[in-house]
Chains A and B, each alone.
Chain A
Amino acid sequence: MYAFEYHRPSSIKEAASLARKLADAKLIAGGQSMVPALKLRLARPTAMIDLNDLPELRGISVVGTNVVIGALTRHAEVAASKDVLMTLPVLAKVAAGIGDHQVRNMGTLGGAIANNDPAADYPAALLGLGATVTTNKRDIPADKFFTGMYETALKPGEIIASVSFPMAKRAAYIKFRNPASRFALVGVFVSETAGNVRVAVTGAAPCVFRVKNMEKALASKFAPEAIARIRVPADNLNSDLHAGAEYRSHLITVLAQRAVEAALSGK
């Protein structure tokens, strides 16, 4: 690890002003991607701004038909939250399936979506539910938030405060794991919210994306067979040691059907 300045602000305002002021500074929440990069000397920020002293970023609340989760909430907290289990159980399941125990006890919702790893689970949940990201500056719909590989709509000095998830009539997330990393080789999130069907895919492309033609088919008939013949073309899908683009394309269709089935069965 290279040396860096360490800041631990006590308000979002202070954190944002530090982030604006310090060139090359990095925000750190759970550190589950950042710390390994630091230890490998693959990152050399001049300063780290630790967000862990910002209690206003923590917590889970039910607001109307939405579940609002603070950016600093750990995956394990979401997985175990009664509020989440009662109102949006699929989200608890997503959180419970991220990484391993250590990662879930440290990793945070805000950190995961700000990092936007191409194979991360939370981006699929946000996009698949049509969630809204609230920052210290504005509200950003999930559709506009994830902009590319490890890229988001966040501007310098902008800090995620919370994410608001609409409750779903039914929803499911099915992840086919990379046998080594256990990240999603392909993960498909399917939901039906008030008259709105969404299908979001992670792991398969440089960035999480929606499958509009599946959404359309499911909107007219929410059943696995409605999408059995819909394929996402392999052209822009990821190809690596573990899965070629063709295989990923195939898996999207298989997993989307299984997700629909799971959503229907409520499991």
Chain B
Amino acid sequence: MPDVTIPGLVLAAILVNNVVFAQFLGICPYLGVSKRLDTALGMGMAVVFVMVMAVAITWPIQHYLLAPGALGEEIDLSYLSTIAFILVIASLVQLVEIVLKKVLPALYQALGIYLPLITTNCAILGVAILAHRQQLSFLQGLIFAAASAVGFILAIMLFAGLRESLEQRDVPESLAGAPIAFITAGILAMAFMGFAGLGG
């Protein structure tokens, strides 16, 4: 278990090592559902839920099944972790999808194809893998997942706000859409670099 304080872990995950701007995780939904603030928030909420659940489930699997020596002296199943993790996350997403469809059909409509695609949201798998690569404890892992997801919400909400106002502006035709979005994201990432070294 590394020697990290909880506030340090939270601060690092939200600001310094922001999932989107510093780690490049979850770029597809970040660009795909950031055209409007309300859908961005919905996607962010789905990510928080799935991310924390993913770490809560993958952590015990890693430690009690896959870690070298977990099942017996000579058994090392750690090469299976990629396959195991992605299957757990895929099933989780199905669950979230079923629940949302029943409870909040409006939001389900709005998120459209991106909810099934949360399976291929690399932020979820990335954070689950990072939590065990950094050898965090179970509790630290959960906090890390929640803070990373908050970082994702922060990034996508800021970006959605910018894109909503970009739509009112007169952007040159060949820059409109994806190109200007990437350049805006680059400027946002520069702003986030200002947090480097914070809490370290």
Q: Are A and B interaction partners?
A: no
Interface residues, chain A, with chain B CB atoms under 8 Å away: none
